[in-house]
Structure 1
Amino acid sequence: MSEINAIRFAEPWQVSCVKIPMPEPKPGEALIKIMAAGICGSDIGAFRGTNGLVSYPRVIGHELAGVVVSIPENNKNGIKVGDRVVVDPYLYCGHCYPCSIGRTNCCDDLHVLGVHVEGGMAEYFCHPADMLVKIPDGMSWVQAAMAEPLTISLHGIHRGGLKAGEYCAIIGAGPIGLAAAMVAQAYGAHAILLDLVQERLDFAKSLGVEYTINSGKEDANARVHEITGGEGAQQVMECSGANPAIRSTLDLVSHAGRITFTGWPKKETSLPTDTITRKEIDLRGARTSAGEFPEALELIATKKVDMLKLLTKTVKLEEVPETIIDIEKNPGSYMKVVVTME
């Protein structure tokens, strides 16, 4: 049996490029030659051993784009051999209550690639044929691999029902928060991006983000209310997972506003329910994504959201172990890294 190269965490702090058997598609699966794969913040959490959902040993990788080598003819998206696709990495059961109402990302038995099951940071990968989305003509492999993080940002914006003309305060200027700010502005809304790191806010300004606030140096609540004419933001999207930031969302949001929680906190946050009642705030979780890939690819293709601006660098598969070690040590030096197999 032939072997391929893949990136595996044997256990926390142990990353290497290893040989694994060439995968063979099960019924209903496609075989994909992976051309690009993104390194995600959750991969760094898995490397550190701080992502409690990850089991080891584990081949990582869930931000995947590639060429279809084989596929069942009756797949729902009409994808054929030779098509360029992205992988929807959130495997759902299809019959629990969330799945029955189209909220497949909330499946009672959700399995995420590279977390609960083997990921696709490898030369070849097998995946359910119905969970592939065709890439628009002319899109680069690197752009395609950045569609998955954009779906996370889109899902948070969608969960908050953001409309043109509204103010959206986004906490956390990492890749998800930055992309969310670009999405908000593509929707005709006003983005207000908050972070503690001035360099990230300066970067956000270079991307054209309308308002930035250094919440470590400014009174963020006062500044948001100043920007919004005293009302507060109609939507607040929390992308950092920091407990103080989660608490602050209730101050930043307008009366009758919406809060979406995208960040994953390590411990629970105490929230004043009297404020929730007084302002009649909608609190909404926002986990992964569900059906957002076509829109993400369209936004990237039209440059309404230019994900390439978030790209720090590309690396080859054999360079991934040293790159992950360096990202863990120097997270401030990286925004988005994509592995290319060309």
Structure 2
Amino acid sequence: MRAIYLEEPWKVAYIDKEKPEPKEGQALIKVRAAGICGSDIGAYRGTNPLVSYPRIIGHEVVGEVISIPEDNAKGIKAGDHVIVDPYLFCGECYPCSIGRTNCCTDLKVLGVHVEGGMSDYMVHPADMLWKLPEDMPWDIAPMAEPLTIALHGIHRGGLKKGEHVAIIGAGPIGLLAAMSALAYGAEPIVIDVVAERLSFAKELGVKYTINSAEENLTEKVLEYTNGRLAELVMECSGANPAVRSALDITANAGRITLTGWPKKDTPLPTDMITRKEIDIRGARTSANEFEEAIELIHTGKVDVRKILTKTVTMEETPAVIADIEQNSGNYMKVNVIL
């Protein structure tokens, strides 16, 4: 079979590889499409310390079931269209015991710790598949996975209809969070330092944007919220100054969800956290958001096609990964069609 293979940092190739055979409890899937994620670019750069090499990349994966154990939990059958849940958990540790499997103490991620799905075929635990509507186009279906990340941050922050949510970082997760907020009946405020990304957010229906490199962030949030500040702040950039600024724009009794992953510690004024009584929550990957993500895309409530930059073939993928690494501003989401 064909696969996209990282031999080591900076060495990505389109290769032939032996087709996998399913073991007990696994399904065999004919992959139809896979998304290129920022984490794949990090693996290419060698900046993600969790990645082991060599490695088939790809965790935003959809396909058609070739074979599956009949006793699988969701009643999925051969021929069904599915998306894979790429976060493999142990099922035995404390977080797994309370349903927060994304916090598993032995979490393994496709394309990071174990082989990913950017290949003609893959095997995956039969109980970690989610059925897709048969009329959901393959080219947009992989984006249900990054949408789960955005939804998890929204859920962790308890976003309600009518609230303002300040979203720091207008990358794919931030924009998906903004589109989801609109679907929830909330008012997103998208914050970034790149004017083009903020203009793009406006095209997606976001009313309020702030260029934090050129405008006073707190003053603009006060203006957009009629002096209240944001009930929820979602930090999606992972930049240390952005994490710190989240406290400034959060309302008294407000909430913050930290979805971005800074590379180093961020000093925070704990006196402000106490004075405002801010709830701060981490938001790591996702847990039980796939059904909602699929429904939002299928119904068009979140039009993910608007952030699909383009689709590419397997043969084109290595060169595209290298170009995304060099020219990330030219891309939002790229999906590989097999």
- TM-score interval w.r.t. the shorter chain? over 0.9
Question: Distance in 2 between the 1:165 and 1:207 partners?
Answer: 18
Corresponding residue for 1:255?
252
Question: Distance in 1 between the 2:274 and 2:14 partners?
Answer: 52
1:71 is the counterpart of 2:68:
yes
Q: What letter is aligned with 2:316?
A: E
Residue 138 of structure 1, CA deviation: 1.4
Task: Point out where structure 2 has 5 or more consecutive residues left out of the alignment.
Answer: none
Question: Distance in 2 between the 1:92 and 1:210 partners?
Answer: 39
Contact 2:165 2:230 in 1 (8 A): yes
Question: Distance in 2 between the 1:144 and 1:73 partners?
Answer: 25
1:204 is the counterpart of 2:198:
no
Q: 1:126 aligns with which of 123, 128, 139?
A: 123
Instruction: Classify the secondary structure of the residue corresponding to 1:53.
Output: coil
Corresponding residue for 1:99?
96
Q: Deviations over 1:70-126 (max 9, x none)?
A: 000000010000000000000000011000110000000000000111100000000
Corresponding residue for 1:158?
155
Corresponding residue for 1:46?
43
Residue 232 of structure 1, CA deviation: 0.7
Question: Distance in 2 between the 1:210 and 1:69 partners?
Answer: 45
Question: Distance in 2 between the 1:242 and 1:219 partners?
Answer: 18
Question: Distance in 1 between the 2:322 and 2:142 partners?
Answer: 21
Corresponding residue for 1:58?
55
Instruction: Classify the secondary structure of the residue corresponding to 1:94.
Output: coil
Aligned-residue Cα RMSD (Å) equals 0.6
If the length of structure 2 is used for normalisation, what is the TM-score?
Answer: 0.99
Instruction: Classify the secondary structure of the residue corresponding to 2:297.
Output: helix
Corresponding residue for 1:295?
292
Question: Distance in 2 between the 1:183 and 1:159 partners?
Answer: 14
Q: What letter is aligned with 1:208?
A: G
Question: Distance in 2 between the 1:211 and 1:114 partners?
Answer: 36
Residue 137 of structure 1, CA deviation: 3.1
Residue 325 of structure 1, CA deviation: 0.4
Percent identity between matched residues is: 68
Contact 2:140 2:308 in 1 (8 A): no
Corresponding residue for 1:316?
313
Matches within 5 A, 1:178-193: 178-193=175-190
1:177 is the counterpart of 2:192:
no
Q: Deviations over 1:57-79 (max 9, x none)?
A: 11100000000000000000100
Residue 229 of structure 1, CA deviation: 1.1
Question: Distance in 2 between the 1:143 and 1:340 partners?
Answer: 10
Residue 20 of structure 1, CA deviation: 1.5
Corresponding residue for 1:326?
323
Residue 195 of structure 1, CA deviation: 0.3
> Aligned residues, how many?
338
Corresponding residue for 2:192?
195
Question: Distance in 2 between the 1:228 and 1:313 partners?
Answer: 36
Return structure 1 stretches of 4+ with deviation > 6 angstroms: none
Q: What letter is aligned with 2:337?
A: T
Q: Deviations over 1:291-324 (max 9, x none)?
A: 1000000000111100110000000011110000
Question: Distance in 2 between the 1:268 and 1:288 partners?
Answer: 20
Task: Point out where structure 1 has 5 or more consecutive residues left out of the alignment.
Answer: none
Residue 136 of structure 1, CA deviation: 1.5
Contact 2:146 2:173 in 1 (8 A): yes
Residue 21 of structure 1, CA deviation: 1.1
Instruction: Classify the secondary structure of the residue corresponding to 2:17.
Output: strand
Contact 2:169 2:191 in 1 (8 A): yes
Q: What letter is aligned with 1:125?
A: M
Q: What letter is aligned with 1:266?
A: K
Q: 1:8 aligns with which of 2, 5, 27?
A: 5
1:239 is the counterpart of 2:240:
no
Q: 1:269 aligns with which of 263, 266, 269?
A: 266
Q: What letter is aligned with 1:203?
A: F
Contact 2:312 2:335 in 1 (8 A): yes
Question: Distance in 1 between the 2:248 and 2:139 partners?
Answer: 38
Corresponding residue for 2:146?
149
Q: What letter is aligned with 1:302?
A: T
If the length of structure 1 is used for normalisation, what is the TM-score?
Answer: 0.98
Contact 2:27 2:123 in 1 (8 A): yes
Q: Deviations over 1:155-183 (max 9, x none)?
A: 00000000001000000000000000000
Question: Distance in 2 between the 1:224 and 1:99 partners?
Answer: 38
Q: Deviations over 1:19-68 (max 9, x none)?
A: 21110001000000000000000100111111111111111000000000
Instruction: Classify the secondary structure of the residue corresponding to 2:189.
Output: strand
Question: Distance in 2 between the 1:221 and 1:322 partners?
Answer: 41
Question: Distance in 2 between the 1:190 and 1:208 partners?
Answer: 10
Q: 2:21 aligns with which of 21, 24, 46?
A: 24
